[in-house]
Amino acid sequence: MSGVRRAVQHYDMIADGDRLVVGLSGGKDSSALLLALANMREFLPVKYDLAAVTVDMGFPGYREKLAVLERFCEDLGVEFRIVGTQIAQIVFDERKEKNPCALCAKLRRGALNNAALEWGANKIALGHHLDDAVETFMMSVMHEGRIGCFSPVTWYDDRRFFVIRPLIYTTEREVKALVRAAELPVVESSCPENGNTEREEMKKYLRTFDDLHRGLYKRVLGALERREIDGWHA
């Protein structure tokens, strides 16, 4: 995946001696990211350690599905950890959130961050790709009236680590193609809200527009970099 190497080098995402944790959800994006970072250890001119962490949110039957991820990590020579939580119970049973995604994301992020720090990581790699960046930007404009997006590299001063997003130059179509070609493991989400979110609505809207005006996603990404919004730069 040339886009991953381009992003890593353009934004100086990985340095010699880094200890990286990949947030491995079991979805196609994080599996593709882990494969790319594992393979890059062979030819990137820096040395880094790599591990993967999966946050088990507590949905019935989910833990049993994770054996395929464990085998995947073994084949790549990557340490694999599962973090058990009660996020599903908190969000859906106790809090009964009408819009659960924000709280769920916050709790999952906290569990992942804690696991990464316990392993001694100084960087966490997340599987947000080019399409995600454009969707986030458009949601910020249309729902919040704010120009903003997540950053390619984010420093968390309170936690003393970086979050990096090496897939930002990789489209969702390219991720899907890699998953098919490499037969990567994909664990189906157990969340009852899966596929029923504002992001999915934005994805459908943008894809319809992109069908009429090809290149929409890369033009928006270019605008983010040229205007240097939230850490993006050309």
Domain boundaries, the chain: 2-231
pTM: 0.94
Contact by Cβ (8 Å): 72, 185: yes
Half-sphere exposure of 43 (CA within 13 A, CB side): 8
Which pLDDT score is estimated for 99?
Answer: 77
Which pLDDT score is estimated for 227?
Answer: 96
**Range with the poorest average pLDDT among 5-9, 87-91, 93-97, 168-172:** 93-97
Domain 2-231 has CATH 3.40.1410.10: no
Which pLDDT score is estimated for 40?
Answer: 96
The pLDDT confidence band at residue 82, using thresholds 50, 70 and 90, is very high
Q: Looking at the predicted structure, is the pLDDT value of residue 1 above 90?
A: no
The pLDDT confidence band at residue 205, using thresholds 50, 70 and 90, is very high
When pLDDT is averaged across residues 221-228 and rounded to a whole number, the result is 96
Strand order in 153-156's β-sheet? 79-84, 49-56, 19-23, 123-125, 161-164, 153-156
Short-list 140, 116, 129, 137, CA closest to 168: 129
Number of neighbours of residue 109 by Cβ within 10 angstroms: 15
Which pLDDT score is estimated for 156?
Answer: 87
Task: Share the mean pLDDT of the chain.
Answer: 93
Phi, psi dihedral angles at 71 (to 5 degrees) = -65, -40
- What span, in angstroms and rounded, lies between the C-alpha atoms of 197 and 194? 7
The strand pairing partners of 163, in sequence order, are: 124, 154
Which pLDDT score is estimated for 157?
Answer: 78
Contact by Cβ (8 Å): 82, 63: yes
- What span, in angstroms and rounded, lies between the C-alpha atoms of 17 and 39? 17
**Would the CA dihedral through 190, 196, 199, 202 be positive or negative?**
positive
Number of neighbours of residue 49 by Cβ within 10 angstroms: 16
Which pLDDT score is estimated for 195?
Answer: 65
For 56, the enclosing helix (H) or strand (E) is strand 49-56
The pLDDT confidence band at residue 19, using thresholds 50, 70 and 90, is very high
Q: What is the pLDDT of residues 21-80, one digit of tens each?
A: 999 999 999 999 999 999 999 999 999 999 999 999 988 888 999 999 999 999 999 999
Which pLDDT score is estimated for 194?
Answer: 73
Q: Looking at the predicted structure, is the pLDDT value of residue 97 above 80?
A: no
Alpha-carbon radius of gyration of the chain: 17
**Range with the poorest average pLDDT among 1-5, 138-142, 149-153, 158-162:** 158-162
Short-list 72, 93, 81, 39, CA closest to 187: 72
Which pLDDT score is estimated for 192?
Answer: 76
When pLDDT is averaged across residues 132-160 and rounded to a whole number, the result is 93
Q: Looking at the predicted structure, is the pLDDT value of residue 193 above 80?
A: no
When pLDDT is averaged across residues 3-19 and rounded to a whole number, the result is 97
Q: Is 124 helix (H, G, I), strand (E, B) or coil?
A: strand
